[in-house]
Amino acid sequence: MPATRGDMLDVVFGTKISELCSLVVCLEDAVAAIDVESALANLRALLMEVEAWGGRPEHGLLLLLRPHDAAMAAVLSDWPLMKHVDRFVVPKLTLKSLQSWEYAVSTLDLCLMPTPETVDAFDPGPMVELGQALKANPKSAHHHAADWRKTSWVVLVCDTIQPPLGLETLVASRLARF
């Protein structure tokens, strides 16, 4: 859901789309560059409302946040109200960008949910290396398997990238082993 929407609180508290199990509030592709500041203000307002209500419902949906990049994630990590967010969805994650994301959230008890969306997603070599790095990372969702609310291995692939026939199945099966 783009962070520019005004009905996020209704979704977070289940009064709108009550069957929802998780929500990704997006500050990346779903928000135009000219709208980033208003989206951040809207996110801050959402988190302040959640705080005013005493936090999210105990068995409510999983709240995920998709920052534009690691620099934005680092800024958001300094917000005290990030305690109401379960994890960051990491857009276009590669092995090269992993360290900057780890650093960006080093002060939070928040895990990262990777979304490889580059052409590397169709190359088993880089995906295996990324999977191994995530497996070794205590911030990755892999290390929170005992808590269902923090367990996710999700691979989102940009629909503008055309994989070689059958390779997407191979990549998904290799990542599933981690």
Q: Where in the chain are the domains?
A: 1-85, 89-178
Over the range 23-42, which residues count as b (16 or more CB within 10 Å of their CB) and which as e? bbbbbbebbeeeebeebbeb
Q: Given CA atoms 100, 104, 109, 111 in this order, what sign does their dihedral have?
A: negative
d(CA 132, CA 130): 5
Stronger pLDDT, 130 or 50, i.e. the higher one: 50
Do residues 153 and 141 make contact, with C-beta atoms less than 8 angstroms apart?
Answer: yes
Q: What is the pLDDT of residue 71?
A: 95
pTM exceeding 0.85: no
pLDDT tops 50 at residue 39? yes
Q: What is the pLDDT of residue 109?
A: 77
Task: Give the pLDDT mean for 129-152.
Answer: 58
22-26 vs 87-91, strand pairing mode: unpaired
Segment of 47-51, 57-61, 113-117, 126-130 carrying the highest mean pLDDT: 47-51
Task: Give the pLDDT mean for 44-53.
Answer: 96
Element (H, E) at 114: strand 111-115
pLDDT tops 70 at residue 157? no
- Tokens 């809207």 correspond to 42
Q: Which of 17-21, 150-154, 161-165 has the lowest mean pLDDT?
A: 150-154
